Amino acid sequence: METTNTKTYTKPEKFVYYFAAGEAEGNAGMKNTLGGKGANLAEMTAIGLPVPPGFTISTDICTAYYAEGSKLPDWVKPEVLKALSRVETKIGKKFGDTTNPLLVSVRSGARASMPGMMDTILNLGLNDQTVEGLAKSSNNPRFAWDSYRRFIQMYSDVVMGMNSSLLEVTLEDLKAEKGIHLDTDLSTDDLKKLVKKFKDMVQQMTGQSFPSDPMEQLWGAINAVFKSWNTARAITYRELHDIPAAWGTAVNVQSMVFGNLGDDSATGVAFTRDPSTGAKKFYGEFLVNAQGEDVVAGIRTPQPISLLSEIMPEPYKDLETIYKKLETYFKDMQDIEFTIEKNKLWMLQTRNGKRTAKAALQIACDMIDEKLITEEEAILRLDPSSLDQLLHPTLDPKAAKTILAKGLPASPGGVCGQIVFTPEDAVEWKEQGKKVILVRIETSPEDIAGMVAAQGILTSRGGMTSHAAVVARGMGKCCVAGCSEVEVDYTNEQMRAKGYNLKKGDVITLDGSTGEIYLGEVKTIEPKLDGAFDRLMKMADGVRRLKVRTNADTPKDAQTARNFGAEGIGLCRTEHMFFGADRIDAVREMIIAETKSERERALEKLLPMQRDDFYQLFKIMEGFPVTIRLLDPPLHEFVPHTDEEIQHFAQRVKMDANRVKAKIQALHEFNPMLGHRGCRLAVTFPEIYQMQSRAIAEAAAKLTSEGMKLVPEIMIPLIATAKELEMLRAQTVAVVETVMKETKTKFDYQVGTMIELPRAAVTAHEIAKHADFFSFGTNDLTQTTLGLSRDDSGRFLGSYVSQGIFAKDPFVSIDQVGVGTLVKTGVDLGRQAKGQLKVGVCGEHGGDPDSIEFFENVNLDYVSCSPFRVPIARLAAAKAHLKRKKK
């Protein structure tokens, strides 16, 4: 449940913070208490910028509000009233005064900017009497009544929950009736009529009269801000951005300044640099004679900020000085809101501006050159995950789209193609020059060829570390996994979603970065890596301690990873090499074999192929370490399944189909993930690992004789006991030594193990005696520690995250307390037994920035991740190291 709904809170000593020129009670460092907006408003007033006076009610009160059962505690009110009266004194106007009334805006403001929260309420404090006072004091009745009708529109929508489009329609009808286009062309009388009509409509629709008491309006708005913290859209936004429910929001109450006082008034928003390219150029827009919401609402087209210098040169000059000051002060690109009231500039907000990854890199490099920030500060500020945006083609944000469903964003990129339901069709259609999306309930190693052929993969089941997700990420291929809203019907080759029934050949588009699936083709844009990218990557390399390797099983992946800066291979899953059309039959013969000699005959066919696989990988890696993992999955994953496939296979290899079938049935397991897989295969069939070890050694020998210096690392998976490793290591060493004798070569090599079972982690000191290195297989370690199937839990893990049981999907970001403790234990015990034991991680977590920070802190030597995550990991490792040094 939302953790804000707790009964336990302590009454804070101070919770209302006043701000006015030179009198700020808060500062920019108080975001946790004041929210981002409140903290920066305080800071701006402190550094002498023109900010309308006001006060911030702290986030603690949001906690108290929920603890009291969605109600403001009584002790809040006196403090709010005190702050309000300070604002009144400062401005020389009184709230609710009928001659010269103070009006305020009420805004939400959480620690992190949250677009899902409550919309701003402006002009609060107006009623039938104060509006007359405002008309007189401003000498502008039209402005006063325009402000009043805006207030009713906003308040009835945001606080009273009325559908505001009804009032908007009434306004539009009136404009049509009068033959005018702009709100600004409405006369005072028109506005008066509208106000009356609006109030009547509010009464009719909500059954409540519009509150005329300004104090009642204020409490209504403050309550509404706190309430908006738990609306469905705010909760969704928090989930998407990992914002804890416990943070709560603050409320900012600020005296109004008016951009709608005439042609010498305006309102606008701006970025101190271009948020999409990062170019050093003041970027923004404004509207003359308007209030804030007009700029965002798109009713009138705002003008580019450059024009402001012509229309209002004086306030523009001030704005220029201020934005430069703000950037230098906050040392970051700012997103600002301002209002010009009768040629005087007022600042309403400043915050670090959101930007694309491309802009983030450009701005970081420029600010280093401008000596505004250091290289370390630049690295600390970048979000490694956002680099993903740069590495894959993405959907054109401007393109029109019809959403079909949403699954897990398993592997980024934007792709479109015709849907097919079998890997065979994927391969065949690709050969015909078509672009396809492979749609499966879930994938298995058998589908690899189809996955390679497809532009992208969509599965209706499986989580972020399901086969489809892991393999697609490894290939840098777009994948949406576990999309339960899509019903896949293999029999009729159809998929259903949102009432659409799509057949084989229909076109869909996948967004692997958001998990969204769209109907038809959506335009994409190609990635471009520029100088800033390279420059920051090099800076990160100069800082980080952790090495970054890649998980790669093909020369293409290995090359991609090298190009992205990988320093070796941390995991080559050799099973992925078994599915090639030239060898799958030999693999199956090996599995079906009844006798050792039959098995050896099949393995002999595989040996030269594997030798060549390894030779190529070693060569691409140019002497960087390469870890080859010996066969891991249960054997039944490789055998044919349907009667037809069995018949064909039996014919090709001249075997009795019944014998093949019986053997396949015998391989069936109820829990294959906990069954006959990993090193357990080699305990019963040593020949498989022996063949692979020989292929590795022969490839290394060949390269050694060609003059390359390399140290192959042979890795044994799924070790639970030291005895298993002791035995299998001895076998491996014997094979490698034999090859060296046979080939008269000498090279160094290592034999190590994966730590992916809890027992291995807690007995790591025993296991380390037989290992030259450890690599944590955190996919299986998470699966076995939590007892959660990595292939099935995607269906319900979402609920675990939304209900706060897990902060994040533990297959995506390591469960630091549980699985992480096992990792730490494994590292410490392993190194107790062997001081300099090399330790890395090759589970999916090796590419997740938060997990990388954890791995840095438990002293791993390297992380290994999919090729397209290598740049992310390089930056995350640098950031983690800097953070650690700071501590």
Q: Taking CB within 5 to 8 Å according to partner kind, which of Mg ion, ligand PEP, none is near residue 248?
A: none
Least CB distance to Mg ion at residue 781 (A):
8
- Under the binding rule (CB under 6 A), the answer on residue 842 touching ligand PEP is yes
Q: Interface with ligand PEP by CB under 6 A: which range of 213-221, 614-622, 777-785, 811-819?
A: 777-785
Q: Taking CB within 5 to 8 Å according to partner kind, which of ligand PEP, Mg ion, none is near residue 842?
A: ligand PEP
Q: Taking CB within 5 to 8 Å according to partner kind, which of Mg ion, ligand PEP, none is near residue 469?
A: none
Binding test (CB under 6 A) with ligand PEP, winner from 123, 466, 554, 778: 778
CA distance 452 to 576: 12
Least CB distance to ligand PEP at residue 623 (A):
24
Looking up tokens 């799958």 gives 584
CA distance 337 to 354: 14
3-state secondary structure of 108: strand
Contact partners, residue 791, CB within 8 Å, separation at least 6: 442, 461, 462, 463, 466, 467, 673
Residue closer to ligand PEP by CB (options 447, 632) is: 632
Binding test (CB under 6 A) with ligand PEP, winner from 826, 843, 847, 849: 843
- Under the binding rule (CB under 6 A), the answer on residue 632 touching ligand PEP is yes
Residue closer to ligand PEP by CB (options 567, 632) is: 632
Residues 552-591 that bind ligand PEP (CB under 6 A): 571, 573
Looking up tokens 């550094």 gives 47
3-state secondary structure of 502: strand
Q: Residue by residue, what is the 3-state secondary structure of 44-68?
A: HHHCCCCCCCEEEECHHHHHHHHHC
Q: Taking CB within 5 to 8 Å according to partner kind, which of Mg ion, ligand PEP, none is near residue 778?
A: ligand PEP
Residue closer to Mg ion by CB (options 513, 784) is: 784
CA distance 457 to 407: 12
Residue closer to ligand PEP by CB (options 336, 842) is: 842
Q: Closest Cα partner for 439 from 402, 498, 494?
A: 494
Q: Taking CB within 5 to 8 Å according to partner kind, which of ligand PEP, Mg ion, none is near residue 843?
A: ligand PEP
Least CB distance to ligand PEP at residue 624 (A):
19
Residue closer to Mg ion by CB (options 756, 861) is: 756
Binding test (CB under 6 A) with ligand PEP, winner from 214, 476, 777, 826: 777
Q: Terminus-to-terminus CA distance in the chain, angstroms?
A: 33
3-state secondary structure of 287: strand
Least CB distance to Mg ion at residue 481 (A):
18
Least CB distance to ligand PEP at residue 845 (A):
8
Q: Interface with ligand PEP by CB under 6 A: which range of 64-72, 309-317, 735-743, 773-781?
A: 773-781
3-state secondary structure of 845: helix
Residue closer to ligand PEP by CB (options 842, 877) is: 842
Least CB distance to ligand PEP at residue 674 (A):
12
- Under the binding rule (CB under 5 A), the answer on residue 777 touching Mg ion is yes
Contact partners, residue 609, CB within 8 Å, separation at least 6: 577, 580, 582, 583, 586
Residue closer to ligand PEP by CB (options 780, 815) is: 780
Residue closer to Mg ion by CB (options 780, 815) is: 780
Catalytic residues: 467, 842
Query: Can you state the angle between helices 686-705 and 596-620, rounded to 10 degrees?
Result: 40
- Under the binding rule (CB under 6 A), the answer on residue 824 touching ligand PEP is no
Contact letters for ligand PEP, residues 657-686 (x by CB under 6 A) = ------------------------------
Residue closer to Mg ion by CB (options 589, 780) is: 780
How many CA atoms within 13 Å lie on the side-chain side of 103? 27
CA distance 832 to 840: 16
Q: Taking CB within 5 to 8 Å according to partner kind, which of ligand PEP, Mg ion, none is near residue 573?
A: ligand PEP
Q: Residue by residue, what is the 3-state secondary structure of 362-414?
A: HHHHHHHHCCCCCHHHHHHHCCHHHHHHHHCCEECCCCCCCEEEECEEEECCE
DSSP class of residue 685 equals -
- Give the helix, strand, coil percentages of the chain, each rounded to 5: 50, 15, 35
- Under the binding rule (CB under 6 A), the answer on residue 252 touching ligand PEP is no
Q: Interface with ligand PEP by CB under 6 A: which range of 259-267, 533-541, 771-779, 819-827?
A: 771-779
Q: Taking CB within 5 to 8 Å according to partner kind, which of Mg ion, ligand PEP, none is near residue 146?
A: none
* CA distances for 208 relative to 151, 200, 421, 726, angstroms: 16, 10, 56, 79
Long-range contacts from 116-119, C-beta under 8 angstroms, 24+ separation: 116/231, 116/233, 116/234, 116/235, 116/236, 116/237, 116/238, 117/225, 117/228, 117/229, 117/231, 117/234, 117/237, 117/249, 118/158, 118/224, 118/225, 118/227, 118/228, 119/154, 119/157, 119/158, 119/293
Residues 745-764 that bind ligand PEP (CB under 6 A): 756
- Under the binding rule (CB under 6 A), the answer on residue 780 touching ligand PEP is yes
Looking up tokens 């995607």 gives 794
- Other CB atoms closer than 10 Å to residue 139's CB: what's the count? 9
Least CB distance to ligand PEP at residue 632 (A):
6
Q: Interface with ligand PEP by CB under 6 A: which range of 166-174, 592-600, 697-705, 778-786?
A: 778-786
Least CB distance to Mg ion at residue 470 (A):
10
Give the interface size with ligand PEP as a residue count (CB under 6 A).
11
Pairing of strands 516-519, 507-511: antiparallel
What tokens were used for 798?
């979402």
Least CB distance to ligand PEP at residue 778 (A):
5
Q: Please give the radius of gyration of the chain, using alpha carbons only, rounded to the nearest integer.
A: 32
Q: Interface with ligand PEP by CB under 6 A: which range of 26-34, 498-506, 583-591, 775-783?
A: 775-783
Q: Taking CB within 5 to 8 Å according to partner kind, which of ligand PEP, Mg ion, none is near residue 378?
A: none
Largest pairwise CA distance in the chain:
104
Residue closer to ligand PEP by CB (options 157, 632) is: 632
Least CB distance to ligand PEP at residue 159 (A):
51
CA distance 132 to 212: 14
Residue closer to Mg ion by CB (options 474, 640) is: 474
Q: Are 57 and 76 in contact (CB under 8 A)?
A: yes
Contact letters for Mg ion, residues 740-759 (x by CB under 5 A) = ----------------x---
What tokens were used for 738?
């034999």
Q: Interface with ligand PEP by CB under 6 A: which range of 185-193, 412-420, 730-738, 774-782?
A: 774-782
What tokens were used for 813?
């970001």
Residues 177-236 that bind Mg ion (CB under 5 A): none
Least CB distance to ligand PEP at residue 745 (A):
30
Residue closer to ligand PEP by CB (options 330, 811) is: 811
- Under the binding rule (CB under 6 A), the answer on residue 791 touching ligand PEP is no
Binding test (CB under 5 A) with Mg ion, winner from 388, 780, 791, 815: 780
Contact letters for ligand PEP, residues 435-474 (x by CB under 6 A) = -----------------------------------x----
* CA distances for 634 relative to 662, 677, 866, angstroms: 17, 4, 23
Residue closer to Mg ion by CB (options 429, 579) is: 579
The contact set with ligand PEP (CB under 6 A) reads 470, 571, 573, 632, 756, 777-780, 842-843
The contact set with Mg ion (CB under 5 A) reads 756, 777, 780
